Each structure stands twice: as C-alpha cells, then as structure tokens.
Amino acid sequence: MNTQLFEQLHNEGLVTDSSFEKIKEDDSKQLFSIHWEIKTLLYLGVLLLSGGLGILIYKNIDTIGHQAILTFIAAVFACAFYYCGKTKLPFSTAKVESPNVYFDYVLLLGCLTFVSFIAYLQFQYNVFGTRYGLATFFPMLVLFFSAYFFDHLGVLSLAITNLAAWIGITVTPSQLLLVNDFNSSTIIYSGLFLGALLIALAFISKQKKWKHHFEFTYANFGTHVLFISCLSAMFQFDSIYLVWFLLLAGLAFFSYTRSMQTKSFYFLLVTTLYTYIGISYVAIRFLVSIGGYDMV
C-alpha cells in the first residue's frame, strides 16, 4: 500500500485523521507469504508417506504377501503418473510452470514409488540377476524422462543420483561390490567422468536453451563430484599427489572464473572450501617431509 500518498492527502486535508489512522493500521497488518512453509510440509509429507509405507510393508511382509505389496506399489506410481500426464501443461524446452499446487508432489511420489518397485523386484525376485547395472539403468531412464517431460528439478536430482549409482556399479568389478571395497581407483576415475559429464550437460542446457533452468542442478552435482574425486585421488595416489593437485588447481580456476561470470557466491564458496582442503593437504605433506615423519 502506498501510504506516502495517503499521508500527502492527509496533510492537504483531503483525508480525515480517523481515516488516516485506519489506513496506517491496515498497512501494519499486511499478509505475509507462507509459500515455502507449505512446500516444505508437502515435501516432508511425501517423504514420510514413502517411508511409512516402507516400514508398514517391512513389519507385515509375512501377512501381506509380496504380490500384494508389488501390486499396491505399482498402483500408486501408475495413478501418480496418470494424474501428472493428464494435468501437465504442454511440453516446452523453456521452463514450464506446475499446473497446480499438488502436481510436483504427486510426481515426486510417483517417481519414488517407481524406484521402490524396481528395487523390490530385484531384491525379492532377482529379475535382473547379477546384472546390477540394469536395476539402476531402467529407473534412471524413467527419472530423466520424467524430469524433462514434466519439468521437475527434484526428479532431475533423483535422476542424477541414479546416474551416479549406475556408473559406479557398471564400471566397478563385481568382486569389489561383493567385498564393499570402494577404495578402487576405478571409482575415482568414474567420478571424474561423471563430474565432467554433468558439467558438460550444464553447459549444453545453457547454450542450447534446452531446459535452461536445469543448468544449476547439473553444475552443482558436477562441481562437487569433480572436486571430491580430485581430492580422493590426492589421498589415494599419494606418490603422485602433486599431479592431482595441479588438476584440482585447474578445476578451481575454471570454477572460480565461472562463478565470477555468473556472479554466483555459492560456487565461489564451494571452490574456496575444496581448494582450501587441497592446499592444506599439500602443506601438511610438505611440513611432514621436512620434519622427516611418515604420513600414516
């Protein structure tokens, strides 16, 4: 409300004292938005519903039966996808707003239950056998398709996480998975590949204007994965840690340049933190070598 205008009218005698006081009182009682509070509660509701269904199934597995559980889960995600398909707005390469308040949460529920359905099939019936990569590949395709088709950043994050799991399982020898040995250099190299891929997807999203608003999500995941992979390589391959530190420094320069171009304080902060860890490790190694001690 433009109270300055009413104040000017009051000074000119066009608005009475009592009316002006009521205007000021009404202005002090302005409504405030609870948009994010409601969205947070709805997201928590979806997560609690998914978790509650899992606990219910786990505690009553003997009495309910596997077929009944699978049928119920399939019905939930089928209804969710049907609702989203009927209510979605036309597809566009630009950002598409949600048709209503409940759309995003129904879609998220559908995607989560679909992933649970595939995981349940693999765990109980071993439908993919020892080809564990297929158990993550099919959900990954569905999640990426849903993220683009329905324009949902939350589902895109799920898809990227599933992509990381698929790459990690695919490139890792089965014997390493069986003994839970994740210190293999293969994991580090796959992390570098994944990070570079996500950064490339962020660049393509921006340059080709294909879901331009997906750029931040891709860049966020890619930046973290690349920095963590470089740091892990420094710790794992300690005999050539300086080589990996140079790669880390090059990545830091690239990320710094990009954060300055986009005026992103977030990426600048992330770059500073990871670079600080790398420099600290190099400094400690240097001090230890001077003192003649061994790194344990």
Domain locations along the chain: 37-171, 184-296
Percent of the chain at pLDDT > 70 equals: 76
Q: Are 155 and 108 in contact (CB under 8 A)?
A: yes
Residue 223: the pLDDT is 96
Q: Which helix (H) or strand (E) holds 79?
A: helix 66-87
Dihedral class, residue 142 (left if φ above 0, else alpha if ψ from -120 to 50, else beta) = alpha
- Residue 282 CA to residue 296 CA, distance in Å, equals 15
66-79 pLDDT, tens digit each: 788 888 889 999 99
In a 13 Å sphere around the CA of 224, the CA atoms on its Cβ side amount to 9
The counts of H helices and E strands in the chain are: 13, 0
Position 61 pLDDT exceeds 50 = yes
159-182 per-residue burial string, b: 16 or more CB within 10 A, e: under 16: bbebbbbbbbbebbeeeeeeeeee
* Assigned token pair, 265: 């304080």
Tell how far CA 120 is from the center of its chain: 23
Q: Are 135 and 120 in contact (CB under 8 A)?
A: no
Query: Nearest to residue 227, comparing CAs of 173, 279, 182, 287?
Result: 279
Q: Which residues contact 294 (CB under 8 A, 6 or more apart)?
A: 288
Residue 176: the pLDDT is 47
- Residue 161 one-letter amino acid: T
251-282 pLDDT, tens digit each: 999 999 999 998 999 999 999 999 999 999 99
- Residue 292 CA to residue 296 CA, distance in Å, equals 13
Confidence of residue 35 (pLDDT cuts 50, 70, 90): low
- Residue 185 CA to residue 166 CA, distance in Å, equals 17
